Amino acid sequence: MRFEKVFQKFALAALLLGALAPTAFAQKSGGAVPRQERLLNGLKILMWNDPTAAKVSVKIRVHAGSAFDPQGKEGAMRMLAENLFPSQAVREFYSDDLGGGLDVTTTYDYIQINATSNPDQMLTLLESLSAAVTNPTIDKETTAQLKAAQLAKISEQMNDPVYVADAAAASRLFGTFPYGRPRLGTPESIQKIDFADLIDLKQRFLAADNATVAISGNIDANLAFKAARRYLGAWLKSDKRVPSTFRQPDPPKSGMPIFDSPIAKRSEFRIALRGNARGDKDHYAASALASILDRRFKSREGDKAFVRNSPHALPGLLLFGVSDWNLAGIKRDGNKIAVPVSDGYQKQVLDPAVKGEEFDAAKRQLVAEIALLPVEDAWLDVDTFKLAGTRPDSEAAQAVSITDVQRVLERLQKEPAAYILVFADDQAPVPSKAAN
Q: Are the C-beta atoms of 224 and 255 separated by less than 8 Å?
A: no
Q: What is the pLDDT of residue 388?
A: 82
pLDDT band per the 50, 70, 90 thresholds, residue 25:
very low
Higher pLDDT, 329 or 249: 249
Q: What is the pLDDT of residues 255-305, one digit of tens each?
A: 888 999 999 888 899 999 999 999 999 999 999 999 999 999 999 889 999
3-state SS, residue 112: strand
CATH, domain range 258-423: 3.30.830.10
Q: What is the pLDDT of residue 20?
A: 38
Q: Are the C-beta atoms of 424 and 260 separated by less than 8 Å?
A: yes
Q: What is the pLDDT of residue 329?
A: 56
**Domains of the chain: which residue ranges?**
34-232, 258-423
pLDDT band per the 50, 70, 90 thresholds, residue 171:
very high
Q: Which residues contact 65 (CB under 8 A, 6 or more apart)?
A: 77, 106, 107, 108, 109, 110, 111, 183
Sign of CA dihedral 268, 271, 274, 277: negative
Ranges 11-25, 290-304, 417-431, most confident:
290-304
Distance CA 109, CA 105 (A): 11
Q: What letter represents residue 211's amino acid?
A: A
Q: Among 59-68, 153-162, 231-240, 352-361, whose mean pLDDT is lowest?
A: 231-240
Average pLDDT over residues 210-238: 96
Kindly report the average pLDDT of the chain as a whole number. 87
Sequence-ordered strand ranges (E) for 175-278: 211-217, 258-260, 267-274
For residue 3, pLDDT beyond 70: no
CATH superfamily, domain 34-232, is Metalloenzyme, LuxS/M16 peptidase-like (3.30.830.10)
Helix, strand, coil shares of the chain, percent, nearest 5, are 45, 15, 35
pLDDT band per the 50, 70, 90 thresholds, residue 241:
low
Strand bridging mode 267-274 / 418-423: antiparallel
Sign of CA dihedral 138, 140, 145, 147: positive
| Intrachain domains 34-232 and 258-423 with the same fold | yes
Q: Are the C-beta atoms of 85 and 138 separated by less than 8 Å?
A: no
Q: Which residues contact 74 (CB under 8 A, 6 or more apart)?
A: 66, 181, 182, 183, 184, 185, 186, 189
CA 398 to chain CA centroid, nearest Å: 22
Q: What is the CA radius of gyration of the chain?
A: 25
Q: Are the C-beta atoms of 334 and 260 separated by less than 8 Å?
A: no
CA 230 to chain CA centroid, nearest Å: 30
Q: What is the pLDDT of residues 224-237, one digit of tens each?
A: 999 999 999 999 99
pLDDT band per the 50, 70, 90 thresholds, residue 30:
very low
